[in-house]
């Protein structure tokens, strides 16, 4: 099994990632932290607690993290994509347990230090909490199994600017620090996450499942409409965050992806938030690059969509 700490800005695709991490028999979800991004951080925390309750995982500790970018500045949210409640305007107001009294940074550090070399950090929102933990405990890179993140893009266009993806663009300084640190990184960027699509047929399969599947099907309707109107032309959802979870867990084969250097543009110009991956080796089978520690997913097996949908639909 894979020990995991999942860090979410819990909107709609994050919810699917939480369900997958919480329910997959090969994933040991040790804890969750929340971060601003799709929604404000109190709402991300509330949604995280609600989803864990729904899947019967109130044993998973949840610590609330950063409310805005690492170096200050304006926090922008994406209610138009994820709904005003971050759950496609289709969530519920069921009361949830309290979050942990620990900070997200402390929970990340304590959990990693309790299992040296074993824990995968899986951030699927802005990288603020991870960069903050790194600043407090600079030894983290030698103590984790790796960092598998949803963020960035290399060959595909961005989604908040021509070249920048939302999670990186939201806090480019934090992202730059995370990519610079000498840990093993798996980058699930838009290159792959825009190719793994949840279709109307998947949605029907979820809706025909139990309470968990029905909840997921319900909250993704608005999200699919956003993608219909802004990207794909027909109702469908990009899976995004679950890809990073599956890559860490080894339920997705990442062995063919190149390991290269990646830098984040923090210049504030038109390239701000771009993940600049050195993929020049594409013509020569990606020869080894000095200091390279970032596995950039360019293609993944699309059976992951069926696998995730079936796992969630099978829940009571």
- Could you give the residue numbers annotated as active site? 9, 240
Q: Which does 297 bind (CB under 5 to 8 A by kind): Ca ion, ligand BDR, none?
A: none
Nearer to ligand BDR, 137 or 232 (CB): 232
Which one, of 277, 184, 237, 293, lies nearest residue 17 by Cα? 237
Query: Helices 241-249 and 12-23 sit at what angle, rounded to 10 degrees?
Result: 20
What would the two tokens of residue 68 be?
Answer: 């805005």
Nearer to ligand BDR, 109 or 168 (CB): 168
Nearer to ligand BDR, 159 or 203 (CB): 159
d(CA 75, CA 237): 25
Residues in region 1-60 near Ca ion by CB under 5 A: 9, 14
User: What are the angstrom distances between the C-alpha of 218 and each of 18, 22, 44, 286, 306?
Assistant: 16, 19, 18, 43, 18
What would the two tokens of residue 271 be?
Answer: 């390239």
Chain positions contacting ligand BDR, by CB under 6 A = 11, 13-14, 38, 78, 81, 124-125, 150, 159, 165-167, 240-241
Nearer to ligand BDR, 109 or 239 (CB): 239
Per CB under 5 A, the list member of 125, 151, 152, 213 interacting with Ca ion is: 125
> Shortest Cβ distance from residue 316 to ligand BDR (Å)?
26
Three-state DSSP class for residue 49: helix
What would the two tokens of residue 200 be?
Answer: 């109307």
d(CA 65, CA 91): 22
> Shortest Cβ distance from residue 287 to ligand BDR (Å)?
30
Residues in region 228-267 near Ca ion by CB under 5 A: 241
Q: Which does 2 bind (CB under 5 to 8 A by kind): ligand BDR, Ca ion, none?
A: none
């Amino acid at each position: 099994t894979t020990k995991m700490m999942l860090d979410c800005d819990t909107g709609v695709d994050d919810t699917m990632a939480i369900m997958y991490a919480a329910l997959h028999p090969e994933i040991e979800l040790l804890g969750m932290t929340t971060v601003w991004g799709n929604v404000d951080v109190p709402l991300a925390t509330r949604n995280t607690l609600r989803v864990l309750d729904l899947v019967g995982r109130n044993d998973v500790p949840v610590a609330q993290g950063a409310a805005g970018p690492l170096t200050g500045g304006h926090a922008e949210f994406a209610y138009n994509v994820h709904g005003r409640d971050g759950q496609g305007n289709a969530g519920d107001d069921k009361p949830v347990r309290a979050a942990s009294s620990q900070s997200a940074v402390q929970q990340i550090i304590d959990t990693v230090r309790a299992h040296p070399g074993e824990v995968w950090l899986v951030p699927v929102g802005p990288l603020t909490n991870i960069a903050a933990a790194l600043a407090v405990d600079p030894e983290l890179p030698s103590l984790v199994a790796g960092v598998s993140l949803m963020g960035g893009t290399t060959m595909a266009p961005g989604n908040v600017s021509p070249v920048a993806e939302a999670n990186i663009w939201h806090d480019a300084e934090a992202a730059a620090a995370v990519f610079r640190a000498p840990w093993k990184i798996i980058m699930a960027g838009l290159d792959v996450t825009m190719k793994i699509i949840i279709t109307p047929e998947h949605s029907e399969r979820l809706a025909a499942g139990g309470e968990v599947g029905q909840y997921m099907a319900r909250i993704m309707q608005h999200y699919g409409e956003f993608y219909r109107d802004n990207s794909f032309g027909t109702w469908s959802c990009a899976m995004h965050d679950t890809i990073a979870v599956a890559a860490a867990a080894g339920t997705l084969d990442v062995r063919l992806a190149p390991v290269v250097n990646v830098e984040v543009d923090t210049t504030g110009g038109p390239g701000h938030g771009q993940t600049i991956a050195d993929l020049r080796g594409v013509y020569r089978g990606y020869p080894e690059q000095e200091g390279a520690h970032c596995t950039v997913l360019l293609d993944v097996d699309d059976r992951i969509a069926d696998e995730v949908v079936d796992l969630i639909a099978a829940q009571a």
